[in-house]
Chains A and B, each alone.
Chain A
């Protein structure tokens, strides 16, 4: 019992620190690619600390749900973070929540965020929540198919089992089912974290923003929690992608040396994935909202093909 608490404390710390770093790296990489200097990597930390110290403005129409939403978003993201193997193969809470539980806890966070958006009474909140729920609804089946492919071959839906199974097989990644699943999951990652082809994170242009519209009314510590939660969620999805398909470098035990090595490899893999995301963001324009389902239909087809290919080849 105590071991789990210590492990989850460590992993939580790691989670909180790495998440803003990754979003900072993505922002700077994108800027560099667009030949502009862009903010330095640590800017997200400064934003969060600044926001934590600021006062808060609560809209008159809002109820207790508006102020509860940020807490739920942050806490659910953190909890899922504890279920995912980051540096070591067995995550602290992996026994208590498989991949389905992780997906649904994230859905709980999104549920309350959408309610928070609608609680403000402004049309932007409604716009954001409606689009967020629609896109996530369309993305769910594709994500499930991709996860099923990996889970079925690993004979378990626990993420640690999946990571351990992937580690044991050499060149597991080159199997067609894994590659198709990775592609499908990558598209879902783009949709879930609100990256360019689906939603532009940087914009405040009313008609195009999805995630931003929901959190328009938040300020001060609430906004900090939401931003931080969003970056943790982004980190989780990237880790899910990275550690289930390229599990090398995950340490099998929680020794200091193993963790150090694991951390190095983990950050390297995240950096590579961040570069892919940035590449996709800069080369693509934002899709119209009613074309996004076609993109996610592609992801669904990829997931289905991956599933079929597990027993065809």
Chain B
């Protein structure tokens, strides 16, 4: 195949992003123009990047090139291989959807906010994301990584007038700087081992990396990437930052920005660090399970729609880590075949999660756009005024709960198969770890289903609870198109999973050195097999078609009676009370009450009821009910750490207490010490 113009389209895409950025900045005085420029150029750039990604994947062989940077020490070198192509494809798909969505969403900013600045930051964010995925040397990777964090900070704290947003933004940028600190040290270790800054040289030098070096590098990289991905002990910034960000930005954040952590892990663990020891894979798997279970448990207790979705990002990252962890374990236990299946499961779930999480956040955004509130206790009955948003949100909810025939089920099924294969193939402790992880995945899936029943039903079904959700209008057309584009992607990836899998072959060949695509697809391209000895087969296409075919007789059966006696509208059964209103409906807190009781050890729930009465306590005028669960990580881990640092620094302030004699004493003592001991060394 002649050289496809990967490099040119990629460079054109970057140029479009840069042009868009400065065009928006230039036109910040005229909001309408800025909005058109921002969305138009971003869409064009996303399309270009999408083509580049597709060409890159078709190309098969990685395309490498480098341009000299200002500082003659380092060149900016790019490598457009399968991994970069895949992640850039996800980015392009999401960027297109979010840009179309933003076209309608930003109309609301016109009077109040600076759209030019928003467009500038938005373009630079997408630009830096594209470079992060295509960077081929540590220097360029770190620059793009920090620019991404910086622009994401600018966008997260876009509504900076309320202190909650500012605090969340600062927490975000400080945590992301800590993780780039870890990455910096990790890269330095590798650069020292390989002598050069290029990723390719890391892989080669990984052989003679001493085991302690490799372990140190692994821990540093794992900490760095899991802070960015929001793995459990380091996740506290995610539920804080995503809800306060504008909805189209939190869609991008959850969809692709936390995936840079996953991309980093795939690139470094499989490419640059050589074969990692078994404990590394197990650590990843265990933290994956912890993130999945705790993520969904905390999500259940949220009644802020976007915080709920943020916690679900943590859960799905956990599922992805399960795939990655088992891939690492299989590789070191000498089962490249199983490792490839596990890696495909992880990468496919990354793609699926990116799409349905972005869809859900856009849905939540249009709900917020119409009603103005994120609190589910005030929403309800939105399915009548906003049928299209409700349908898209429903598809997203079914997909994220992993229910067939949509794409969430396919990747969770592949994860199950790799976990099952783990039981048979490995020995010792891991033999038990895999099935337990499998059952935890089942628990996560079921809890996710429960959580999204709550989210969808309380937000969209029954009667509107708060004043905000009464006279509500449907989201503008462009927002619906954005969501529609992602809904079709969900359905297509679900039903047509078997046609989509071959694109992972190039990636598994690059990272693990073998192609397993062929034995994953059997039965005339319809059935997905696990390609392992313990595996089963499933075909979402047949399930989908089966459901449709069976729908026909049942509809016939049910319509016999309905035609003759018709259907009547009647009030819901209200046990004889005078008319049922929205106060009697089940609320989000009530829905999650049984689970709060069952997992009370984890939540430590706290409840306060004050009855306000004037005559006697038995006839309360008002009852104030307040219940909250304990933010264990913030309270137990991060708050004491922060207090310790601040107390320490306040104590250290005494060094500069103002007395000149003390200052001179410091110098005197240092001089005497150095004179007596310094001279010897």
Contacts and interface: CB of A to CB of B under 8 A. Distances in A.
A58 B569 CA distance: 5
A121 B582 contact: yes
B457 A289 contact: no
Contacts of A221: 557-562
Contacts, number: 279
A21 to B, nearest CB: 18
A289 B594 contact: yes
A166 interface: no
A64 to B, nearest CB: 8
Contacts of A127: 586
A151 B536 contact: yes
A157 interface: yes
B189 interface: no
Interface stretch (A92-100, A175-183, A248-256, A270-278): A92-100
Contacts of B413: 100-101, 104
B622 interface: no
Nearest to A98: B536
A71 interface: yes
Contacts of B537: 95-96, 98, 158
Given A63-B384, A74-B554, A129 B591 contact: yes
A61 B463 contact: yes
Contacts of A93: 542, 546
Q: Is the interface of A mostly helix, strand, loop or mixed?
A: helix
B398 A293 contact: no
A58 B461 CA distance: 14
A171 B553 CA distance: 42
A22 to B, nearest CB: 20
Contacts of B453: 111, 114-115, 118, 129, 133
Contact of B440 (A96, A119, A139, A141): A141
Contacts of B659: none
Interface in B591-634: 591-595, 597-598
B570 interface: yes
Interface string A142-177: 111100100110011110010000000000000000
Contacts of A123: 584-586
B442 A79 contact: no
A37 interface: no
B104 interface: no
Nearest to A303: B439
A157 B591 contact: no
A82 interface: yes
A136 B446 contact: yes
Contact of B594 (A131, A152, A308): A131
Contact of B561 (A60, A121, A140, A220): A220
A223 B524 CA distance: 40
A32 interface: no
Contacts of A303: 439
B536 A130 contact: no
B404 interface: yes
Nearest to A143: B442
Most central of A74, A124, A148, A217 by chain B CB within 10 Å: A148
Contact of B438 (A60, A103, A131, A144): A144
Most central of B454, B533, B538 by chain A CB within 10 Å: B538
Given A111-B398, A115-B453, 9 more contacts: A51-B561, A56-B567, A59-B570, A71-B551, A96-B546, A101-B538, A118-B457, A126-B585, A152-B420
Interface of B: 381, 383-384, 390, 394, 398, 401-404, 409, 413, 416-417, 420, 423-424, 431-432, 435-436, 438-443, 445-447, 449-450, 452-454, 456-458, 460-463, 523, 526-527, 530, 533-539, 542-543, 546-547, 550-551, 554-555, 557-562, 564-574, 580, 582, 584-586, 590-595, 597-598
